[in-house]
Amino acid sequence: MPGFELFGPEERKEVNDVLETGIMMRYGFDGPRKGIWKSKELEAEICRKFNAGYTQLVSSGTAALTTALTALGVGAGDEVIMPTFTFVASFEAVLSVGALPVLADVDETLTLNPESVRQAITPRTKCIMPVHMCGGMADLDPLMEICKEYDLLLLEDACQSIGASYKGRYLGTVGNAGTFSFDFVKTVTCAEGGAILTNQKDIYAKCDGFSDHGHDHLGVDRGADLHPFIGCNFRISELHAAVGLAQFRKLDQFLDIQQRNHRQLQSILSGLEEVSFRRLPDPSGDSHTFLSWFLPTEEITWAVVAELKQQGILGGNFYWFDHNWHYIRKWDHLRKADTLNNLSDLQKQALRDLSNAAFPASDSIMGRCISTQIGLLWTEEQTKERGEKIAAIVRKVSSRTSSYSAS
Ligand SMILES: *Cc1c(COP(=O)(O)O)cnc(C)c1O
């Protein structure tokens, strides 16, 4: 998955273009920058590739979520429905705009279960935020149906699934807005960076202004810009955008390699009757950054994970259920509302509710799931070896557990 595995002369060339002029800021300095506009160029390429109306680059995926929520008008006291399995950025962004995170279960897609979303709706609900985890896609049709029925906004977090699609449309372009992350371990990296995609001009204009202190970018120079609303600074630098530009041009190459390695690994694990795979609402749209697979029980999964660790091959195989960043089970700081400053009373109440909530349906999915990250540098031989080692461990653990239950 990570684009940093294929960093090379293309990235260095783009960065050098910026270093030649020394203009590292994305706005202004029209003369001295000598026609070098890396951020604008990357935004245009993202729009073209994904058939998106507008793209705004920002400093991170978290900043992209915060900017998108703000531009969509999500704020104090609004509820945002998000999944139990995601990255901490989801609730960080929701809380930072004064809104309330409401968690709904995931299903075998590893993304929001639309039925669970329906049950989480209240009169305060303003936005549904599906997270397209691990290179795959949420089931967007039923979620859009719910949005229509209850007049809600849809914000797609596609930070982990750039290049994936749903029924012919690229992820991030289906909802009212969508986000990408270009942090160091994502499919396309800028070192640090993010983007908001939208087809609505007004939402784009708000993202553009908000991420740069409210500048309307309509003045003859920065000093002449007006400030129609209050913003902040989530700007990306030209150096980061330059890296991203070279990386983004390699996206098809990354996706091809991932597909090839994923296919090979999946065909090895398919031979195991104990193993089933993540359900993809549109299998043809997978970006193949991970192969996510299920074992029959949580007990067997813990045993497989222990064995992977013992054999020194746990790295690259993620047991999200026991991971500090990605699943509700380990988000003690969220449940205890450990913030540095004061939250609103409504936010405090929402986190109290969350600390008392149980998610047995999500636990029964995530407790049995392992995601194997697909490397860009694996040779056919290495992929085979990796798959066979995992398969041997699954067989070993399964025979042990079945002999237990037989005795
Ligand atoms: C990485 C990630 C983010 C945040 O991106 P950063 O650029 O690291 O801030 C948000 N959501 C998901 C699902 C992610 O994986």
Question: What angle (nearest 5°) sits at the alpha carbon of residue 161, between those of residues 157 and 165?
Answer: 100
What is the signed CA dihedral for 328, 349, 356, 361, rounded to 10 degrees?
-50
For β-strands 276-277 and 290-294, DSSP reports them as antiparallel
- For ligand 1, mutation pick of 181, 318, 327 (most atoms within 8 Å of CB): 181
- pLDDT recorded at residue 403: 62
8 Å CB contact between 275 and 394: yes
8 Å CB contact between 128 and 36: no
User: Rg for the chain (alpha carbons), in Å?
Assistant: 22
Name the CATH superfamily housing domain 252-406. Aspartate Aminotransferase, domain 1 (3.90.1150.10)
**Joined tokens for residue 32:** 């001295």
Supply the DSSP symbol for 97: T
Same fold, 3-250 and 252-406: no
Question: What angle (nearest 5°) sits at the alpha carbon of residue 186, between those of residues 139 and 194?
Answer: 85
8 Å CB contact between 316 and 289: no
- pLDDT recorded at residue 405: 56
Q: Mean pLDDT in each 10-residue stretch from start to end of the chain (407 residues)?
A: 89 98 96 97 98 98 98 98 97 98 98 98 98 98 98 98 98 98 97 98 98 94 91 98 98 98 98 97 98 97 96 93 93 95 97 96 98 96 96 94 61
**How far, in Å, from the CA of 395 to the mean position of ligand 1?**
35
8 Å CB contact between 66 and 97: yes
- pLDDT recorded at residue 22: 98
Classify domain 3-250 by CATH number: 3.40.640.10
Residues with CB under 6 A from ligand 1: 60-62, 86-87, 89, 131, 157, 159-160, 181, 183, 194
186 among known catalytic residues: yes
- pLDDT recorded at residue 1: 64
Supply the DSSP symbol for 375: P
Collapsing DSSP states into helix, strand and coil, what is residue 329? helix
**How far, in Å, from the CA of 184 to the mean position of ligand 1?**
10
8 Å CB contact between 239 and 37: no
- For the chain, domain boundaries: 3-250, 252-406
